[in-house]
Amino acid sequence: MPLPCQVLRDTRTLLAKIASTHPKGVDLALRAKRLRARPVRRLRMKPRERFLTALTGGTPDRVPIGDYMFSNNLCERVLNHRQVLYEADKQVELATKLGLDCMWMGINGFCGLEEEAHAEGTKYQDEWGVSYIKNGWPIMAQTDTPIKTRADWEKYKMPSATAPHRFNMLRAGVKANSGDLAIKAGVLGPFTMMYWYLMDIETLAFTIHDDPELVREMCDAFVKYTLETVRGVVDLGGVSVVEISDDWGGTKSLLMSPKNLRDFFIPPFRAMVQGMRQMGLPVVMHNDGKIWDVLDDLVDTGISGVHPVERAAGGDLAWVKERYKGRICPIGNVDNKYVMSTGTSADVENEVKECMRIAKPGGGYILSTDHSIHDGMPYENIMAYIEAGKKYGVYGQ
């Protein structure tokens, strides 16, 4: 069925054609002129539809807004509630109240995301055998990894992809989603899993040289596990997108040579993306840092969007939008390290306006910071960012 805005355009064209031959052509021409002068208003979309329209390259009613909401201060300010763990139902409630269009939540077993509450400073291990010290919220940095040698891998037991607790977080978030947000199911990618959680980066580098087949075996096992969990996500229902978090770069360079990334990590990443697409779910990649030398390779895997186009790492929103036009949706580019954290509300508004000027035309853009909303940001700046997104993101203005 054609949308009202399409019908209006068709009416304008028809009146203009009739006006040239109809006896009352002058009157009809005036009517057509008035219609041309009238702005086309798009029907107001629900958040999920808005997000998916932009993600797939379309033009929604306005640019969607979405972020990792990693600020307990914000949750306390808006909902009068401080989270102990990452509470998916409260995250959905927070996003809905702020007028965002999507919300991320990890599949249980997302390394670093605390599953059980620990006192500050407590040492603990997760189900993958990764060690942590409780030092914040919601994601902890690891202190030790389980695989040092092939012998470690041969006796290692992968977690069960269908464990009873695997979808607790998603189930709670989907149940709370009365506002029809786009729910993003979060998983880790093969490179991050290998250099940060199963191994450390030094061990991985030596293993690539000494036992490259071990790296491939471990990646294959992780891909199999991940696709099995995503099949469970599909069965659960209510999830719109899978977001693979796989950081390949620092602010100055890639974390590994492009050759090794292409040889060892593009193939398993592609297998993950294609497997998820075959299940009917679009895929967003979160990959901050200076990744531009391998972005062609990543886009070729079939991802629908890339987040966060990090400014501190040379993220050029105009370049990404133009180079991959019609292939991926850029998500992000609002500076969260300086402008959002130390700038004024006016600085934030100007940053959002700049992103809109660059990436809004033609659709296929989602507004986000270039990493996350965190406790180091003033409340006033967070609200200025959201309000500016709604103000300058409307199409047809």
pLDDT at 397: 77
Q: pTM of the predicted model, to two decimals?
A: 0.90
Distance separating the N- and C-terminal Cα atoms of the chain: 24
SS3 content of the chain, % helix, strand, coil (to 5): 45, 15, 40
**What is the number of other CB atoms lying within 10 angstroms of the CB of residue 147?**
22
CA nearest to 329, candidates 357, 360, 301: 360
Strand partners, 241: 184
Q: Write out 171-192 in H/E/C secondary structure.
A: HHHHHHCCCCCEEEEEEECHHH
CA nearest to 214, candidates 231, 235, 194: 194
Rounded Cα distance between 87 and 60, Å, is 29
Chain-centroid distance, C-alpha 283: 9
Cβ-based neighbours of 235, under 8 Å, separated by 6 or more: none
State which H helix or E strand residue 234 sits in: helix 212-236
Rounded Cα distance between 90 and 104, Å, is 12
Handedness of CA 257, 258, 263, 269 (dihedral sign): positive
Q: Where are the beta strands (DSSP E) in 195-262?
A: 241-245
CA atoms within 13 A on the CB side of 279: 24
Rounded Cα distance between 42 and 23, Å, is 34
pLDDT at 43: 85
Supply 8's token pair. Answer: 């209006």
Rounded Cα distance between 368 and 63, Å, is 10
Rounded Cα distance between 281 and 73, Å, is 32
Strand partners, 182: 102
CA nearest to 172, candidates 106, 111, 100, 244: 106
pLDDT at 316: 98
Rounded Cα distance between 241 and 306, Å, is 13
DSSP state of 263: I
Cis previous bond, 64, omega within 30: no
Handedness of CA 367, 369, 371, 376 (dihedral sign): negative
pLDDT at 377: 98
Rounded Cα distance between 170 and 177, Å, is 10
Handedness of CA 117, 120, 125, 130 (dihedral sign): positive
CATH number of 44-392: 3.20.20.210
Those residues of the chain that have pLDDT short of 50 are: 1-19, 21, 23-26, 28-40
Q: What are the C-alpha distances in Å from 225 to residues 13, 85, 159, 160, 196? A: 55, 24, 8, 8, 17
What are the sequence ranges of the domains in the chain?
1-41, 44-392
pLDDT at 9: 45
| DSSP track, 268-302 | HHHHHHHHHHHTT--EEEE--SS-GGGHHHHHTTT
Q: What are the C-alpha distances in Å from 193 to residues 159, 179, 220, 374? A: 14, 33, 12, 23
